[in-house]
Structure 1
Amino acid sequence: MTNTYSPIPELNLLAEFEGGVDDLYAAGFSLDDTFGRDNTFLKDPELEDRLILFAEANASGSLYVLWRVDDRADLATLPVALLGDEGGIHLVARNVREFLRFLASLEEEPCCDWEGGVGFRRSEPTPCRAEYIAWLDRHFGLAPLDDAYDSVEAALTELGKAFTTWIYPLIPEAVYSPCHELNLLWDFEENLDDDYAAGFGLAVEYGEYGYGEAPENPELADRLVPFALANSSGSLYALWRVDDRTDLATLPVVVLGGEDGIHLIARDLCEFLQFLASLEGEPWNDGGRIAFRDGEASPGREEYVAWLDRHFGLAPVDDPGAVVEAAEAELGKRFATWLTPRIGHA
């Protein structure tokens, strides 16, 4: 590899550095011999056009790719994604220089599949890591990140919505859902070992009635899209597709389940995320209204509250019941008008 390895000066310098060291310098990493090598195995013209292969990511054959998010001329400003050898494609950096910092921060090699986001696993030692860190500082004045995952999270926050919009129609299983905000929550949940909101857990399959029976009326099943468990009785949270808008995060959230009926919870998904942060007991149907069982804050609640602030600048509400009341006040009449003919009562 030479200084004309690629159209990207940063990668040309990296190729020169790699040629001058005798061992690994970043976990699982090595540049491909040919920048932008054949990617027809992706078997989709859109993917082949928009994903540029340039490096090995781990010992089992995962790859780093540049995502042509648009037709910009400066390829160094393109996001970098991980293409898993066992499936999955996930953003890891917002641009090439951030990616170089990500590499310097790796303690273990990255991995991914269709079931979750970016993870890390043990890998061979990287004897030349110190040399790489020195090279990164010398050429770009950059240092390793405090945590390699910081780069992944920053990419998800800034570019995740655009990535979801692009990838979901091509490979639905590449993301948890067509809703960016739920994808961020899925990623958070996958990296947390504790419960973080009373009674809550994202469904294994977005849009599937895995914890209960689907409504008999097909229009209900079409317009109510379940995404999470709401309580220990098997009730579900669902998005109400009130219309055909494309931004799913602006849809109202309802709770549904068997004899508990169907009730509005929040006017949109971000308000619902605040509602979750306020729960100390599970929501349930108390004679036609949403009430909350006695309980204590979940062990992962503080982490969730910090996540909510970091990604959306939002905080818990003082009273989760107030969120329900606001949804009822704004949307209750419309919801009842839509629902009553389909179930016989609201």
Structure 2
Amino acid sequence: MAAQAPAFWQRRGLLAQALRPLSLLFGFLARRRRALTQPQRLPVPVIVVGNVAVGGSGKTPVVDWLAGVLRVAGHHPGIVSRGHGGTASAQGGLALVPADGDPGRYGDEPVLLARLTGCPLVVGQDRPAAARALLRLHPECDVLIADDGMQHYHLARDLEIAVVDAATLGNRLLLPAGPLREPLARLAEVDLVLAHGELDAELRAAIGGVPVFPMRLFGEEVVALADPACRLPLAALRGRRVHAVAGIGRPQRFFDQLAAAGLEVVAHAFPDHHRFVAADLVFGDASPILMTAKDAVKCRAFAPADCWEYPVRAQIGSGAAERILEKLEDGRTSA
């Protein structure tokens, strides 16, 4: 079970500074691993969606959006994912994820993506093996999306999309002194950046000339866990006290969204990929319970009656979809 991000990652205090030597070692080992890795190329284009930091930046809604963009353009996308939090990919296993799959087996994000996108999705620690398995099972797939795949260099990629939320970058230091898996300079190597929120001067300098497109996550209704056909406008809960449950990388974003909609939020933050049990949703009063879509796939079986999912979609700035499709076509022409 993933733990909450350490508080010291938000500043360059004494503990972060004490860990700087380990960060330098981490950076050296990461660069060496990348230099020694021989990427495995697939017979179809691969689009990587990822980030340079640990924690949530909105990658799952972006993968959903990207799958829709590709479908509208006439492609047949498939998705590969690590399957974090599930048992199916443990010890090198591979598994095709059904839309109604068990999050405990396949991981919460893969099950959510399989349900949202309708795309074939295979989980596995070995990304090239997962991709080859997907193509064997679904030879109609003509492009693959690698979810959270920026640091998985064994899988060759034709296009990289970095999802950036400045709030997840903390003190801008590498692990373990900070939340970065790679330096900010890595952002200058991607094909486009999707920016959730404002970019400060340091981030803009790191990104350099890479095209940046704004993104936001939005949702206008809530869905009953007991009956997905039962939906309410989020505005119907304005002024009401609600229990907001989030076991995601950045729960505060979820709480802020609900508060901005006029709800009186009682926040309940759980670790990312938390394995919920019924007792986690007992709060001792009759106030409605709202949760993210990623948490809802794990709680539907035992959620109380007045429990609601707040699904969100990624809204991406104009021009991003066109650039992605153009890069794909350029790659196909030059291949």
Give the shorter-chain TM-score range. Answer: under 0.3
Greater strand fraction, Structure 1 or Structure 2: 2
Q: RCO greater where, 1 or 2, for CA within 8 Å and sep 6 or more?
A: 2
State the structure with more CA Rg: 1
TM-score, normalised on structure 1? 0.26
